[in-house]
Amino acid sequence: MARAYDVDEVERKWQRHWAEEGTYEIDNDDPREKFYALCMYPYPSGPAHQGHVRNYTFGDLVVRYQTMLGKGVLSPIGFDSFGLPAENAAIKTGTHPRVFTDARIDELRASLTRLGAVYDWRREVHSHEPAYIKWTQLIFLRLWEAGLAYRAMAPVNWCPGCQTVLANEQVLGDGTCDRSGDVVERRDLEQWFFRITTYADELLYALDDLEWPERAKVMQRNWIGRSEGAEFDLQVEGRPDLSVRVFTTRPDTSFGMTYAVIAPEHPLVDELTTDAQRSAVEELRRRAAEETEIERMAEGDPSALDKRGAFTGSRVVNPFTGDPVPVYVADYVLMGYGTGAIMAVPAEDERDWAFATLHGLPIVRTVQPPGDWDANGGGAYTGDGVKINSDFLDGLDIVTAKARATEWLEERGLGERKVNYRLRDWLVSRQRFWGCPIPAVYCDEHGVVPVPEDQLPIVAPDDVEFLPTGQSPLSFHEGFLHTTCPVCGGPARRETDTMDTFVDSSWYFLRFCDPWSTDRPFDPEAARHFMPVDQYIGGIEHAILHLLYARFFTRALIDVGLAPGVDREPFKHYLAQGMIRMDGTKMSKSKGNLIAPEHYFDTVGADALRLFHLFAGPPFDDMDWSEQTEQVIEGCGRFLDRLWRTCLSEPDLRTGEQTDEDGAVRRAVHRTVADVTKDLERWSYNTAVAHCMELLNTVQRYARGSDGNGNTAGVHADVWNEGLNALLSLLAPLSPHVTAELWERRHPGEPSVHLQSWPTPDPELVRQETVTMVVQVNGKVRDRIEVDAGISEADAQEVALASAKVIEALDGATPTRIVSRPPRLVNIVV
RNA sequence: GCCCGGAUGGCGGAAUGGCAGACGCGGCGGCCUCAAAAGCCGCUGUCCGAAAGGGCGUGCGGGUUCGAGUCCCGCUCCGGGCACCA
């Protein structure tokens, strides 16, 4: 595509200029009102792909726009540089993960620069650098000290193909590994956890005030999964010393409990199992233990599950009725939630209903279902209704009955109100090399002991062997492994596990506020100044994990004293950018290479590619990369060519009095300024581009009229300059290179367009003078009449009724009603 | 199964309850040119009509309203999230 200007030369010139001038560097004591613009820092995977381009184009637009608004914008960037791909590459090729990663960082940094994205590069951080590791480890120690980090036995995901433990997020919905496709196994290992559950309620309730996309908030709410109910003891029949505690969200249904269930892993299974039942129970437990996720899923959908279970031989007493009911062991009850035991009420719970019918257990309804319920298939009824068969609860609605039943338990000291969460503590141990080492040592005498802070950072040695053994290479490195106990000085062994990389990304935005700090993770004053992030941009795939962890971490850092006074919510606005798809699927790497941004930087240039990403559709929507995409990108290049030619054209300019056409063009200019400003404020980037295109069309038509073939009075110098200046300003955050170049050529020696103030529209000119008034008869448009924008209701009606087209449409009928919305519309109803 | 989104020309997409289809892509026609490319101008929802003009039209069926792409109720299809959490 032949271009109107040397795109490559212009873009490189300005990229160099911004870097040399330090235009977007900001000091911590900057006096301007702050604005913190942040894109999720990327995992360095090599040159940018189109997903990056989209993300960082949105972010850069915000940085430049807010700067022109006069804010002191903090625009940092860094790299999420720990992670499995680098370690896998090391196993495969022998290259050290750091060498591999540093090379990928250089590539991605170069891509971002070519995109024209601007940052305060002095603040760049890499999560694998000792200067960052040190503080991640210190934070770990402080959380440990505060009881927010602890060690416990836990089942973990083990991938036999990768020979390593996986993070939960690396296990797909069907229980397979997202890299190798192998079925993930469960293993019990002692692991490190962060006590995120302490903050469950706060993390839940604070969501209400966040300006986030609703679906992201809903995902977090579901993930936290708060449920209110009651917990109480079921006395084991004939065993006054033994009871089973259960949790229920439906204490109102207690009179309908016809059996109880405990999880196969429940500690009381052995005690409750009679000799006669032992072999059946053992068989069930064995199967449950061996069972993998995928095998359980294969049983079918939950509603039709074979509710496998075995009778223990014991009975417990229903405290409400005094009746004994049988206790079963069944794998549909999970040890990890609630108490690992339930009262089963088949009439009001679908799972219990399925189990009860399969095992021939009685069913007692305690809520009156609708009259046609059983006729329409029946089953468990979980809706609202009147309580029945429930003694003192009879006649009540469910909400009242729940409260009454809970009170009844509390009065008798049998149980109490209880809130449970689906959210579990965050398992942070990883049996990997390429992550932040956990700063702990094991001493035979003193157990697990924290590494003293003055010994940080603990950095992994370079001379390790990368083998797919399923253990961190650190555990074979004698020099690293052996140390001394900080308490007694005796021989001790280092922790060889590293931290989940989500730990690194849970506080990087705080480090950005003060990346130079050498005596603490960051200066709280700097964090107080810049936090919270005013605009956070990144993929919705991080809606739960990263965003939840970061919200937890910010609170935890405040509470352990590392960030006093900092806002407890790190991200005020979150723009969840949509994914780029090809053929309806998420982009694969091989396909992604075909549309590599570098190719477009070389051909149409970064400005046109940016404009395309902004123009293609709403930023939160997924985008299909199709055959047509190429042509749309070229269209964006054509637009910039026209901009170039128009800005540098030299029509004959006149001065003096302005004509009506001059006035019309001026009004178009000011309306565009108003429209684009509004669009940028509401993230409607595609319409902002459209409005700029419209204005260029208007200005071009205006100029062309003066070429001799139009019927205008020619181009007025003031109108011409006002129009082009506004257009270049409005486009500056969108296509920064070409606008900077054109501005410089039109205003030699003056400050760059990027240092100009964002234009403000003249309200007088934004207001329309005349408006096309629509006249409807019975809601159908019959005429369009140009009227004064300030027309009165009476005049509007008069004009409407005088219209020949309206008279014809009325055909002599008398209006029964006239709805007037001057100056836009009059609707005549007959 | 449950919970969110979404459905508008050939395509991407615009439209505070008030002119549906802005802007762009593609297509058609024209100008320029020896010719092509580039550029420029015009047309481009659909049906009827030579035209003027008119009918119909925002997934489907109802409703509210003077007026519905927009609000309400009931579906269909597509996308996403969660799926034995008691």
Nucleotides of B under 7 A from a protein CB: 1, 3-5, 10-16, 18-20, 22-26, 37-41, 54-56, 66-68, 79, 81-86
A226: which residues sit within 8 A by CB, 6+ positions away? A200, A201, A204, A419, A420, A421, A422
Query: What is the C-alpha separation between A566 and A572, in angstroms, rounded?
Result: 13
A628: which residues sit within 8 A by CB, 6+ positions away? none
Contact flag, residue A778 CB and nucleic strand B, below 7 A: yes
Q: pLDDT by residue (tens digit) across A384-412?
A: 888 999 999 999 988 899 999 999 999 99
**Can you point out the beta strands (E) in A471-579?**
482-484, 491-494, 498-499, 535-539, 574-577
Query: What is the C-alpha separation between A364 and A390, in angstroms, rounded?
Result: 10
The residue type at A405? A
Looking across all nucleic acid strands, the nucleotide with the smallest C1' to CA distance from residue A824 is B18
Give me the pLDDT at residue A1, please.
Answer: 66
| Torsion sign, CA atoms A459, A462, A468, A473 | negative
Contact flag, residue A581 CB and nucleic strand B, below 7 A: no
Contact flag, residue A249 CB and nucleic strand B, below 7 A: yes
Residue A360: Cβ-neighbour burial (10 angstroms; 0-12, 13-18, 19+): exposed
Q: Which one is predicted more confidently, A558 or A95? A: A558
Query: What is the C-alpha separation between A517 and A302, in angstroms, rounded?
Result: 53
How far apart, in Å, are the Cα atoms of A413 and each of A227, A252, A406, A409? 22, 17, 11, 6
> DSSP secondary structure string, A191-241?
EEEE-GGGGHHHHHHGGGG-BS-HHHHHHHHHHH--EEEEEEEEEETT-TT
A588: which residues sit within 8 A by CB, 6+ positions away? A582
* Contact yes or no for A609/A9 (Cβ under 8 A): no
Q: pLDDT by residue (tens digit) across A119-154?
A: 999 999 999 999 999 999 999 999 999 999 999 887
A464: which residues sit within 8 A by CB, 6+ positions away? A433, A473, A474, A476, A477, A480
Residue nearest to nucleotide B81 (CA to C1'): A219
- Kindly state the DSSP code that residue A335 receives in the 8-state scheme: T
For the cut 70, the answer to whether the pLDDT of residue A706 exceeds it is no
The token pair at A504 is 């690194």
Residue nearest to nucleotide B13 (CA to C1'): A617
Q: Mean pLDDT for chain A?
A: 89
- Which bin fits A25, alpha (ψ -120 to 50), beta or left (φ > 0)? beta
Q: pLDDT by residue (tens digit) across A725-752?
A: 999 999 999 999 999 999 999 999 999 9
- Kindly state the DSSP code that residue A618 receives in the 8-state scheme: -
User: Which residues from the 2-21 window of protein chain A have CB within 7 angstroms of nucleic acid chain B?
Assistant: 2
Looking across all nucleic acid strands, the nucleotide with the smallest C1' to CA distance from residue A250 is B86
Q: Which residues pair with A41 in a beta bridge?
A: none
Q: Which of these, A755, A688, A612, lies nearest to A14 by C-alpha position?
A: A755
Distance A213 CA to B80 C1' (A): 14
The token pair at A745 is 């050529």
For the cut 80, the answer to whether the pLDDT of residue A37 exceeds it is yes
Give me the pLDDT at residue A802, please.
Answer: 84
Contact flag, residue A777 CB and nucleic strand B, below 7 A: no
Element (H, E) at A738: helix A736-746
Radius of gyration of chain A (CA): 34
Residue nearest to nucleotide B68 (CA to C1'): A779
Contact flag, residue A628 CB and nucleic strand B, below 7 A: yes
Looking across all nucleic acid strands, the nucleotide with the smallest C1' to CA distance from residue A230 is B86
Give me the pLDDT at residue A190, please.
Answer: 87
Query: What is the C-alpha separation between A818 and A16, in angstroms, rounded?
Result: 64
* Contact yes or no for A425/A194 (Cβ under 8 A): yes
Contact flag, residue A240 CB and nucleic strand B, below 7 A: no
Q: pLDDT by residue (tens digit) across A58-75?
A: 999 999 999 999 999 999
Distance A683 CA to B14 C1' (A): 15
Give me the pLDDT at residue A708, please.
Answer: 41
Distance A146 CA to B5 C1' (A): 41
Looking across all nucleic acid strands, the nucleotide with the smallest C1' to CA distance from residue A355 is B84
Contact flag, residue A800 CB and nucleic strand B, below 7 A: no
The token pair at A498 is 């590293």
Residue nearest to nucleotide B26 (CA to C1'): A628
Give me the pLDDT at residue A614, please.
Answer: 96
Contact flag, residue A333 CB and nucleic strand B, below 7 A: yes
Distance A789 CA to B6 C1' (A): 37
Contact flag, residue A417 CB and nucleic strand B, below 7 A: no
The token pair at A404 is 């009454």
Looking across all nucleic acid strands, the nucleotide with the smallest C1' to CA distance from residue A645 is B39
Q: pLDDT by residue (tens digit) across A451-510?
A: 999 998 999 988 888 876 767 788 888 889 999 999 999 999 999 999 999 999 999 999
Query: What is the C-alpha separation between A25 and A73, in angstroms, rounded?
Result: 9
Q: Which of A283-297, A361-375, A677-691, A705-719 has the highest mean pLDDT?
A: A677-691
Q: Which of A35-39, A427-431, A703-707 has the highest mean pLDDT?
A: A35-39
Rounded to 5, what percent of chain A is helix, strand, coil?
45, 20, 40
Looking across all nucleic acid strands, the nucleotide with the smallest C1' to CA distance from residue A261 is B86
Contact flag, residue A616 CB and nucleic strand B, below 7 A: yes
Query: What is the C-alpha separation between A634 and A13, in angstroms, rounded?
Result: 22
User: Which residues from the 679-698 window of protein chain A have CB within 7 angstroms of nucleic acid chain B?
Assistant: 684, 686-687, 689-690, 693-694, 697
The token pair at A32 is 């301007």
Query: What is the C-alpha separation between A117 and A108, in angstroms, rounded?
Result: 12
Query: What is the C-alpha separation between A796 and A785, in angstroms, rounded?
Result: 10
Q: What's the full length of chain A, in residues?
A: 830
Q: Which of these, A756, A771, A765, lies nearest to A821 by C-alpha position?
A: A771
User: Which residues from the 113-142 window of protein chain A have CB within 7 angstroms of nucleic acid chain B?
Assistant: none
How far apart, in Å, are the Cα atoms of A428 and each of A127, A150, A347, A436, A497? 16, 10, 41, 11, 9
For the cut 50, the answer to whether the pLDDT of residue A304 exceeds it is no
Looking across all nucleic acid strands, the nucleotide with the smallest C1' to CA distance from residue A352 is B86
For the cut 60, the answer to whether the pLDDT of residue A610 exceeds it is yes
Looking across all nucleic acid strands, the nucleotide with the smallest C1' to CA distance from residue A215 is B4
Contact flag, residue A787 CB and nucleic strand B, below 7 A: no
Report residue A158's pLDDT band, with 50, 70 and 90 as the boundaries: confident
Contact flag, residue A28 CB and nucleic strand B, below 7 A: no
Contact flag, residue A805 CB and nucleic strand B, below 7 A: yes
Q: Which of A188-192, A327-331, A335-339, A692-696 has the highest mean pLDDT?
A: A692-696
Give me the pLDDT at residue A592, please.
Answer: 55
Contact flag, residue A671 CB and nucleic strand B, below 7 A: no
For the cut 50, the answer to whether the pLDDT of residue A294 exceeds it is no
Distance A214 CA to B86 C1' (A): 28
Contact flag, residue A422 CB and nucleic strand B, below 7 A: yes
Give me the pLDDT at residue A299, please.
Answer: 43
Contact flag, residue A792 CB and nucleic strand B, below 7 A: no
ipTM surpassing 0.90: yes
Report residue A798's pLDDT band, with 50, 70 and 90 as the boundaries: confident
Give me the pLDDT at residue A593, please.
Answer: 56
Q: pLDDT by residue (tens digit) across A74-91?
A: 999 999 999 988 988 888
